[in-house]
Amino acid sequence: MHNSKARITAIGSYVPKRTLTNNDLEKLVQTNNEWIIQRTGIKERRIAHQNEYTSDISYQAVRNLMERYNQSIDDVDMVIVCTMTPDFKTPSVASLVQAKLGIKNAGAIDLNTACSGFTYGLHVANGLITAGLHKKILVIGADTMSKITDYEDRSTCILFGDGGGAVLVELDDQHPSFLSTHVSSEGEKAKNLYCSNLSHSMFEEDLKNNGKLIQNGREVYKWAVTTVPKGIQKVMENTSIRFSDVDWFVPHSANLRMIESICQKADFPIEKTLYSLVDNGNTSAATIPLSLDKGVLEGKIQNGNKILIYGFGGGLAHAGLLIDWDLR
């Protein structure tokens, strides 16, 4: 990877106030608390208010970042929102967030690679800054998965929650954050995880066109536990650092059993793995920034730590980044 000139300088997060516990789900579908924990590790998830959308969650995550790091965002010159649950088809969530924050001179784009979105967003921000095109970028990973979850489908409704996280990425050629990257996609497996929009004839005739998320959990699971360990190897190949010397591994928080399998295959201790699913469920593009921020708030993540993040999901797309954590 060519030398990065970008550094992550601040982080913030937000989750809605309403909680949906496993016991609450017992009243909606045939399931129970023990079954959900045993198979997913999830205890509860946060659910957006009826009138709370991805742009609201994104805005609150940035407000949290500004307050904690005393950061001005007036000079942000690009807003990237990574989401698969935009408020509208157009305008983009990024444009709505830019307006809510009163940022005057910034471009605004949404990026949709589902659960790997935040990792892709950082990859793009690093590229734009390293190329000299931008100096200060807000990267937000946020989703309101409850808006597209079918609460009659017990295989998916137990998984998903809502939330968002934001980071600032700034020009800094002396102490760059981005050490190595790997991005890839296997679109031929797309039918295993989809949410219909305009087209629904692409995959098969009996495809559900109800605007809700449909997942073949078994196939996605099999794909992830073989693909992610190989992807980790690709990230580490581009650097002199060994995976065993990484301080923290932060995978997409899809399912704790999946994370345990990935760690086992990649020969990495689960004790050095950070995840956000226990209290938040699978928040798609938000899981990695929520996990990172949880690590920061709990005092686990320290400046100088080497952190490998790895996103994977709908697309089926995946992306990994090795980060030198240095907020200063």
Please choose, from the candidates 107, 102, 86, the residue with its C-alpha nearest in 3D space to the C-alpha of residue 164.
86
Catalytic residues: 115, 252, 282
Q: Are 210 and 150 contacting, i.e. CB atoms less than 8 angstroms apart?
A: yes
| CA gap 252, 243 in Å, rounded | 17
User: Locate tokens 């407000």: which residue?
Assistant: 63
Closest of 182, 110, 113, 162 to residue 139, by C-alpha:
110
Q: C-alpha 218: how far from its chain's center?
A: 21
Unique residue bearing structure tokens 């954590």: 325
- Contact status, residue 319 vs residue 196, Cβ threshold 8 Å: no
Closest residue by Cα to residue 13 from 321, 301, 243, 211: 301
Question: How many Å separate Cα 279 from the centre of its chain?
Answer: 15
Distance between CA atoms of residues 87 and 179, nearest Å: 34
Q: Burial level of 50, CB count in 10 A (0-12/13-18/19+)?
A: exposed
Radius of gyration of the chain from Cα atoms?
18
